[in-house]
Structure 1
Amino acid sequence: MKALRDTWLVYSRAMKLNLKQPVWLVVMLIQPLYFLIFFAPLLDGLEGTPGFEAGAMETFVPGLIIMMALFGSTFVGFGLIAELRQGVIERMRVTPVSRVALLIGRTLSTVTTTVIQAFILVVLAALIGGLQIDWGGVFLMFGIIILTSFMLGALSYGVAMVLKSEDTLAPVLNTVVQPIMLLSGIMLPMALAPAWLQSVADFNPFYYAVEAARSLFAGDLGNDAVWQAAVFIGGLAVLLVWWASRKFARAVA
C-alpha cells in the first residue's frame, strides 16, 4: 500500500507540473499534425498496394501515433536532469518515499500525457482526414501505446540518471531513436521495403508495435503482430523499469 500511495503522490506532482504548462500538450501535437495534414494526403494513391490494404489514412495514423509516443516519451529525461541540477532529487534523499515510486510515478505521468495526445490525434484524423475508426480495436491499441510509452519513459529517465547532462543525453537518444523509427515502418509499411531491410526490421521491437497498432486499428484483433508486440514491448518495459529503478534507488539512496 505504501508503494502505491507513494507512486500516486509522485504521479500527482508530475501531472500538476504538466498542467501548469499545458502548452507542451499542444506543442507535442504540432509535429504529428503537420504529418497528418501535409504528408498523409500524398499516400492516397498508394491504397491497395502492399501494406496499404486497409486504406492510406488507416495505415498511416497508427504509425503516426507510435511515432508520437516514441518522441514524446524518449525525451522526458531532460526534465529529470533539470531537477537533478536544481537539487530536487538530492532533497528526496531525506524523504521516506519509495525509490521505485519515484520512477513509476513519473513514468505514469508521461504515459497519461501520451494517451491524451494520441486520443486527440485520432479524433482530429477522423475529422480532418476521414479516418475510419474501429473503436474496439483503437482502445486495445492504446494498450500498445501505454506499454510503449511506459518502456520509453523508463529508459529515458534511467539514461538521464546515468548521463546527468543534456548535452550528452540529446545525441545519445537521437542516435538510438532515428534507426528505431526508420526500421519500424512508421512512415511507410515495411512491406514496401526490400527483403534485406525487412529482415533487419524483424529485430526491431517497435516494428511489431507499429504492425500491432495497424492491425488493431483495422479491427484485426487476432493478428500475430498483436501478441508479438505485447510480448516484446511488455518484456522490454519490465526489464527497463527494473534497470531504471536501480538507477533511481542508487541516486537517492
Structure 2
Amino acid sequence: MSAVDTHPTRTPDAPAPVSRATSPLHDTALVFVRELRPVVRDPFSVIFGIIQPLFFLGLFTPLLVASSGQSTADTLQWFVPGVIVMLALFGTSTTGANLQFEMQTGSHERTLVSPLSRSSLMIGRALKEIVPTIVQALVIVGVAVPFGFRPDLAGLVVGLVVLSVFCVGLGALSYALALAVKENQWAFWGVQQTLLFPLMLLAGILLPLQGAPGWLEALSKVNPLTYVVDAERALIEGSWNGDAVAGAAAAAITCVVGLVVGARAMRASS
C-alpha cells in the first residue's frame, strides 16, 4: 500500500502571491486623489461655498467704507484677506460632515479594512481641502481687483501657502470631531457652529479690534486665527514683517495639532 501525499500539488507555473508594497506617501496620494475626484466631477460644492463670502464682500464693504471714511481700494486691502480666511474657515470646518455621510453609507468602514494606513486616510482627506480653498481664494481676488484691490503677487502666493497649511490642520480637526460624535449630526453641527463664529469675530475678520474692551483683546491674543488673518493682510500687502512670521507659526502649529489629533482618532475608529 503506497503512502498518500496529503500536501497540495504545486504547479510550477503558478505565480506566487505578491504582497503589495506601500508607503505612507503613496497611500496618502491615493486617498488625496480619491477624495478630490468627486470635487472635480461635481464642483457645485466649491461654487456654493463661495456664495456667502461674496455676499460679505459685496454688502459689508460699503458699510466699512462709510464707517471708516477710507476709499474703497484701501478698505478692500484690509477686508479681502479676511474674507479669504473666512471662506477657508467655512469650508474646512464643515468637512467632517462628509465623513459622517461615509459612516452612514458604510463607505468609511470599507476604507478602514483596506491595506491603506489609517494615518494616510486622515492626512489625504485633510490635504484635499487645499484645492477648493485656493480656487475660491483666487475667485475672490479676481472679483475684488476691478474695484481697486491690488495684492502683492509674491505675498499672495505665500499667503495662500500659509492658509493651506492652516486648512489642513482645521480639516483634520473637523474629521476628528466627526469621528468623536460618529453619526450624531446635531452634535457635529452644534460644536462646529458654537466654535466657528467666536473664532471668526475674535480674529477681527469683519471689524478691527483696535479699541475693543480689554477682555476681547485678551481673547483675540489666544485665538490662532487672529495671527493667520494678520499674516494674510501683511503678506497680501507686501509686508514681510513679524505678523507674517507669527501667522505662519500659528498655521503650522494648528496643522501639526490637527494631524496628530485626527490621526489618533482615525487609528481608534472602528
The TM-score by the shorter chain falls in which range? over 0.9
Deviations along 1:153-183, whole A, 9 cap, x unmatched?
0010011001012111001111111110110
Give the structure 1 partner of residue 164 of structure 2. 146
Q: What are the equivalent positions in structure 2 for 1:90-239 lying under 5 Å apart?
A: 90-127=109-146, 129-164=147-182, 165-222=184-241, 224-239=242-257
Partner letter of residue 240 of structure 2? L
Q: Distance in 2 between matches of 1:193 and 1:122?
A: 29
Query: Which of residues 19, 29, 36 in structure 1 aligns to 2:50?
Result: 29
Q: Is the 8 A contact 1:47 1:55 kept in 2?
A: no
Partner letter of residue 126 of structure 2? T
Q: Is the 8 A contact 2:155 2:238 kept in 1?
A: yes
Deviations along 1:43-72, whole A, 9 cap, x unmatched?
2245577xx9x9210000000111111111
Q: Is the 8 A contact 2:171 2:258 kept in 1?
A: no
Give the structure 1 partner of residue 33 of structure 2. 12
Structure with more contact order per residue of length (Cα contacts < 8 Å, sep ≥ 6): 1
Q: Distance in 1 between matches of 2:255 and 2:51?
A: 27
Partner letter of residue 43 of structure 1? L
Q: Distance in 2 between matches of 1:196 and 1:242?
A: 31
Q: Distance in 2 between matches of 1:247 and 1:133?
A: 39
Alignment of 1:56 with 2:75, yes or no, is yes
Structure 1 counterpart SS, 2:116 = coil
Alignment of 1:246 with 2:264, yes or no, is yes
Deviation at 1:39, TM superposition (A): 1.3
Deviation at 1:199, TM superposition (A): 2.2
Q: Is the 8 A contact 2:112 2:118 kept in 1?
A: no
Structure 1 counterpart SS, 2:210 = helix
Structure 2 counterpart SS, 1:67 = helix
Q: Distance in 1 between matches of 2:35 and 2:110?
A: 16
Q: Distance in 1 between matches of 2:111 and 2:35?
A: 14
Q: Distance in 1 between matches of 2:46 and 2:172?
A: 20
Give the structure 1 partner of residue 96 of structure 2. 77
Structure 1 runs of 4+ aligned residues shifted over 3 Å read 45-49
How many pairs are equivalent? 247
Partner letter of residue 172 of structure 1? V
Partner letter of residue 163 of structure 2? I
RMSD of the alignment, in Å?
A: 1.7
Give the % identical residues: 34
Query: Whose helix proportion is higher, 1 or 2?
Result: 1
Q: Is the 8 A contact 1:48 1:55 kept in 2?
A: no
Q: Is the 8 A contact 2:92 2:129 kept in 1?
A: yes
Q: Distance in 1 between matches of 2:69 and 2:152?
A: 19
Structure 2 gap ranges (5+):
1-21
